[in-house]
Amino acid sequence: MSESVFTYAAPGLKFGRGASDEIGWDLQQLVPATTAGGSARRVLLVTDPGVAATGHPARIADGIRAVGLDVAVFEGTRVEPTDASMEAAIAFARDSGPFDAVVAVGGGSAIDTAKAVDLLLTNPGELMDYVNAPVGAGRPPEQPLLPLVAVPTTTGTGAESTTICVLDVLALKVKTGISHARLRPTLAVVDPGLTMTQPPLVTASCGMDILCHALESYTARWFADFDAKQPGQRVPYCGANPIADMWSEKALSLLAGSFRRAVRDGSDAEAREQMALAATFAGLGFGNAGVHVPHACAYPVAGRVRDYRPAGYPADEPIVPHGMAVVMTAPAAFALLFEASPERHLRAAELLGGPSSGEHVPLGRDTLPSVLRGLMRDVGLPSGLAELGYGAADVGDLVDGALKQQRLLATAPIEVTGEDLATVFAGSLEHW
Amino acid sequence: MSESVFTYAAPGLKFGRGASDEIGWDLQQLVPATTAGGSARRVLLVTDPGVAATGHPARIADGIRAVGLDVAVFEGTRVEPTDASMEAAIAFARDSGPFDAVVAVGGGSAIDTAKAVDLLLTNPGELMDYVNAPVGAGRPPEQPLLPLVAVPTTTGTGAESTTICVLDVLALKVKTGISHARLRPTLAVVDPGLTMTQPPLVTASCGMDILCHALESYTARWFADFDAKQPGQRVPYCGANPIADMWSEKALSLLAGSFRRAVRDGSDAEAREQMALAATFAGLGFGNAGVHVPHACAYPVAGRVRDYRPAGYPADEPIVPHGMAVVMTAPAAFALLFEASPERHLRAAELLGGPSSGEHVPLGRDTLPSVLRGLMRDVGLPSGLAELGYGAADVGDLVDGALKQQRLLATAPIEVTGEDLATVFAGSLEHW
């Protein structure tokens, strides 16, 4: 019997310039001002050093103190967090707690770190108990988490809307995550004013994450094409559905009008606002439908990095930023998946504005990949996996890494084999 | 200074055939199975006699008991509830409590009654303390409510998504409400299978409520055209905004394809599913943007009813069903408001499928009203306020009643005067 039910959930949202000035008030609605004993409630604010340097976290902390709440600030989030960096954050929180609420200010790294901290402040055990099996024990959190207010400063991850938390497990050289409905933030405060300081390559990489969230959830397996589930088997990612489709389509239209502009001129407030809206919309879509092949491939692309050091990111360690890792295999992945829903692939290409002017691409398998390559080139992304340091000899390892992401591959519209993934990686070494 | 922030919130949603079979499981996620003392958790199920007769509430109650929760059923909801009927429900709940969660199965009447009951089970005082001023004391609830699972059996009110609860105050012959973020249900379970038993005039009237939710929120004052608010002044209805627009547009498209079909053949499962989706989408839109002139006018149209008794509704008392009351003034109201946003009015008419074939209506002020009149006639609604028993001599009283709804009129895109409302009511006596 096939499935007949889909689910949808979202955090509360406050969107607009100045929204981050009101977080003290919002927290007052989520926690009473004092404990029964009369002492002030305490908030943990999680951020990273780069974001802390913009001054926004300190300003937000002051706004929270102004309503009478205590705030402890943790600035040690690692960009692209690891098990070690998350454990350090958890140790800080345990030492300086107890807390009544958590606020994350930053990109997906800070928000995901805050989710892990919140989980381990409220549930027993250690981080690896909750990490997806087989890497971790895949234990579901049994207790509700503290209220989490997520304040994104990049326009990309949608982490403020989703139930997932992504991390590198250093000993295994593998990127994996924790996924559970209890991890979804309580409130997303999206203030486009906070996103103006993203350097161009950060805007470009994060924007590609938005793009792939929207495209992957739009082309995911239709919810009713899965076998019928028992209620306890329902996962936050239920496949493409009428609600996720709506968010994805709108996110693609918003990107068409703002992505190139926001990269070209970071001070273009209107483009920044549209990108922030696109990121939120795509997060609300994929956070319920799911992502598949490009995101599965991104795990080993990022996890096996050798010495790639992108401009605008911390220079101390090599990283492939998440959105960059995701989009690298997107053109080849969408070529692979075209037959599963040609009309959706063509509609997505159209919503993105179609092929660049001057290009004559016949409508078909290469339409969407061609639109993607044009956009990647225009916003200054690397030309393919080769530029990130991978070669034909790495394809086998990359395939093995992607095959580990069965939770994501299950959302693909077709059965994806190792051979399919080898074609995708081999076709992603050089895009131009 | 003008406003720069909008807000958005929604209940969790489970949508699809069979969704109502899983409510026991859903409740287990919202409340632990037993108290600290080991006794079973207790659920109050609120419904009305007509819905109870379909057997769905009893089946849902059995499903809840099957997971080990106790259920008490209150079947005494009045269709179009009054202060007296809500107070009876509250008295029942207080006598047979305590409860750990509330489930509402029915139309807007049952869901709104459940909101009032939940409010008075968790907060001190009496119903009129919380009713909007000046009719009641307009006191905001200070305590969080019990988890409320809303299970709509009509396709219309969107009450499963909203923060409002509407009632007639009998002594004052006035329809008013309670509006607060804490009243929003925790989870909406929308099972189109439960909506198949709506009689044609119920489908028609509720469908008009969907239509007006979508049209009014789509044409409401833009959120950024209000004065800047302090955080505590933000209300659930923040005016038209990019998210509410998206829901409204999609709801209008869904109605265009399913409304006439669902009225013509109530067993058309696809049309019923599309109507259920349209109702949910419109609820998610207007539940954040707001409604204005037709809804404000509906209060006195319903509240001052003399002896209108529509087919398919309980025959013991005269009522004007809510959706019917709302749409009666919609053609004249949208003619009045056309200049505020001509492009939105024309776009809405287009999304609804445009004027009926054969009609030649020039694009302009009468386009949307003409589409509305065609739809009203096709689904068998009364021809105007005159058929409901009102005449030119009633216009003054109706205007006075509508002017009392300042909370709604504030969401209109223009300053609406008593004279404007007199034009609207006078233009709504006979539509054909």
Residue of B222, B197, B236, B187 lying closest to B340 (CA atoms): B222
Confidence (pLDDT) at B295 = 96
Same fold for the pair A18-190 and A197-426: no
Main-chain dihedrals φ then ψ at residue A342, nearest 5 degrees: -55, -40
Please determine, for residue B357, whether its predicted confidence score (pLDDT) is greater than 60. no
CA distances from A375 to A243, A335, A382, B38 (A): 26, 16, 12, 60
Compare B144 and A426 and report the one with higher pLDDT. A426
Query: For A2-13, what is each residue's pLDDT tens digit?
Result: 999 999 999 999
Q: Are B379 and B259 in contact (CB under 8 A)?
A: yes
User: Which CATH class, in words, describes the domain spanning B18-190?
Assistant: alpha beta
Confidence (pLDDT) at B233 = 82
Please determine, for residue A32, whether its predicted confidence score (pLDDT) is greater than 80. no
The mean pLDDT value for B382-401 works out to 97
A313 pLDDT tier (thresholds 50, 70, 90):
confident
In the numeric block, the tokens 């003054």 are attached to: B396
Please determine, for residue A157, whether its predicted confidence score (pLDDT) is greater than 90. no
Confidence (pLDDT) at B317 = 85
The mean pLDDT value for A303-311 works out to 92
Helix (H, G, I), strand (E, B) or coil at A48: coil
Q: Are A80 and A322 in contact (CB under 8 A)?
A: yes
Lowest-confidence pick of A240-254, A356-370, A387-401: A356-370
The reply to whether residue B13 touches residue A13, judged by beta carbons under 8 angstroms, is no
CA A79 from chain centre, in angstroms, equals 13
Residue of B413, B415, B396, B9 lying closest to B180 (CA atoms): B9
CA A13 from chain centre, in angstroms, equals 17
Count of all residues that appear for chain B in the document: 432
Please determine, for residue A353, whether its predicted confidence score (pLDDT) is greater than 70. yes
The tokens for A132 are 């997806």
Specify the DSSP element, H or E, that contains B384: none
The mean pLDDT value for A228-240 works out to 87
H helix intervals, B66-136? 83-96, 108-122, 127-130
Residue B418, chain A, CB below 8 Å: the answer is no
Residue A19, chain B, CB below 8 Å: the answer is yes
Confidence (pLDDT) at A271 = 97
Residue of B240, B287, B277, B289 lying closest to B11 (CA atoms): B287
Confidence (pLDDT) at A358 = 59
Confidence (pLDDT) at A36 = 65
Confidence (pLDDT) at B35 = 66
Instruction: Evaluate the omega torsion of the peptide bond into residue A134 and state whether it is cis, within 30 degrees of 0.
Output: yes
Q: How many Å lie between the alpha carbon of B116 and the closest alpha carbon of chain A?
A: 21
Q: Which residues pair with B190 in a beta bridge?
A: B15
The reply to whether residue A5 touches residue B19, judged by beta carbons under 8 angstroms, is yes
Number of A/B CB contacts below 8 angstroms equals 68
Q: Which of A5, A6, A18 sits opposite B4 (nearest CB)?
A: A18
Beta-strand ranges (E) seen in A283-347 are: none
Residue of B405, B385, B412 lying closest to B176 (CA atoms): B405
The reply to whether residue A16 touches residue B10, judged by beta carbons under 8 angstroms, is no
State which residue of chain A sits closest to B242, comparing Cα positions: A277
Going by C-beta distance under 8 Å and a sequence separation of 6 or more, which residues neighbour residue B406?
Answer: none
Residue B10, chain A, CB below 8 Å: the answer is yes
The reply to whether residue B250 touches residue A246, judged by beta carbons under 8 angstroms, is yes
How far apart CA A194 and CA A112 sit, in angstroms, is: 18
A115 pLDDT tier (thresholds 50, 70, 90):
very high
Compare A134 and A65 and report the one with higher pLDDT. A65
Query: Which residues of chain A does B225 touch, with a Cβ-Cβ cutoff of 8 Å?
Result: none
How far apart CA A231 and CA A7 sit, in angstroms, is: 11
The tokens for B99 are 């409860």
Query: Which residues of chain B does A10 touch, with a Cβ-Cβ cutoff of 8 Å?
Result: 8, 10
B33 pLDDT tier (thresholds 50, 70, 90):
low
CA atoms within 13 A on the CB side of B262: 36
Domain boundaries, chain A: 18-190, 197-426
Q: What sign does the CA torsion over A112, A113, A118, A121 have?
A: positive
The mean pLDDT value for B192-210 works out to 94
Confidence (pLDDT) at B372 = 97
How far apart CA A32 and CA A40 sit, in angstroms, is: 9
Query: Which residues of chain B does A5 touch, with a Cβ-Cβ cutoff of 8 Å?
Result: 14-19, 22
Q: Which amino acid is at B121?
A: L
Residue B144, chain A, CB below 8 Å: the answer is no
Count of all residues that appear for chain A in the document: 432
The reply to whether residue A12 touches residue B8, judged by beta carbons under 8 angstroms, is yes
A33 pLDDT tier (thresholds 50, 70, 90):
low
Please determine, for residue A398, whether its predicted confidence score (pLDDT) is greater than 90. yes
Q: According to the 3-state scheme, what is the secondary structure of A173-190?
A: CEEEEEECHHHCCCEEEE
Going by C-beta distance under 8 Å and a sequence separation of 6 or more, which residues neighbour residue A230?
Answer: none
Q: Which of B17, B231, B246 sits opposite A250 (nearest CB)?
A: B246
Q: Which of A9, A19, A231 sits opposite B22 (nearest CB)?
A: A231
Helix (H, G, I), strand (E, B) or coil at B260: helix
Residue A180, chain B, CB below 8 Å: the answer is no
b or e along A177-216 (b: 16 or more beta carbons within 10 Å of the residue's beta carbon)? bbbbebbbbbbbbbbbbbbebbebbbbbbbbbbbbbbbbb
Please determine, for residue A344, whether its predicted confidence score (pLDDT) is greater than 90. yes
Q: How far apart are the first and last CA of chain A?
A: 45
Helices and strands, counts by H and E, chain A: 17, 9
Pairing relation of β-strands B187-190 and B148-152? parallel
Query: For B100-126, what is each residue's pLDDT tens digit?
Result: 999 999 999 999 999 999 999 999 999
The reply to whether residue B22 touches residue A242, judged by beta carbons under 8 angstroms, is no
How far apart CA B135 and CA A416 sit, in angstroms, is: 62
The mean pLDDT value for A238-255 works out to 96
State which residue of chain B sits closest to A6, comparing Cα positions: B15
Query: For B256-311, what is each residue's pLDDT tens digit?
Result: 999 999 999 999 999 999 999 999 999 999 989 999 999 999 999 998 999 999 98
Going by C-beta distance under 8 Å and a sequence separation of 6 or more, which residues neighbour residue A199?
Answer: A266, A311, A312
CA distances from A291 to A174, B72, B161, B396 (A): 18, 42, 27, 58
Query: Which residues of chain B does A231 touch, with a Cβ-Cβ cutoff of 8 Å?
Result: 22, 25-26
The reply to whether residue A13 touches residue B4, judged by beta carbons under 8 angstroms, is no
Q: Give the single-character DSSP code of B240.
A: B
Residue of B133, B141, B138 lying closest to B117 (CA atoms): B141
How far apart CA B385 and CA B105 sit, in angstroms, is: 31
Query: For B73-86, what is each residue's pLDDT tens digit?
Result: 999 999 889 999 99
The tokens for B55 are 């057997």
Residue of A408, A402, A407, A322 lying closest to A112 (CA atoms): A322
- In the CATH scheme, what is the code of domain B197-426? 1.20.1090.10
Specify the DSSP element, H or E, that contains A347: helix A342-351
Query: For A159-210, what is each residue's pLDDT tens digit?
Result: 999 999 999 899 988 888 899 999 999 999 999 999 998 899 999 999 999 9
Query: Which residues of chain A does B9 touch, with a Cβ-Cβ cutoff of 8 Å?
Result: 12-13
Q: Give the single-character DSSP code of A69.
A: -
Q: Are B211 and B256 in contact (CB under 8 A)?
A: no
Helix (H, G, I), strand (E, B) or coil at A42: strand
pLDDT over 70, % of chain A? 98
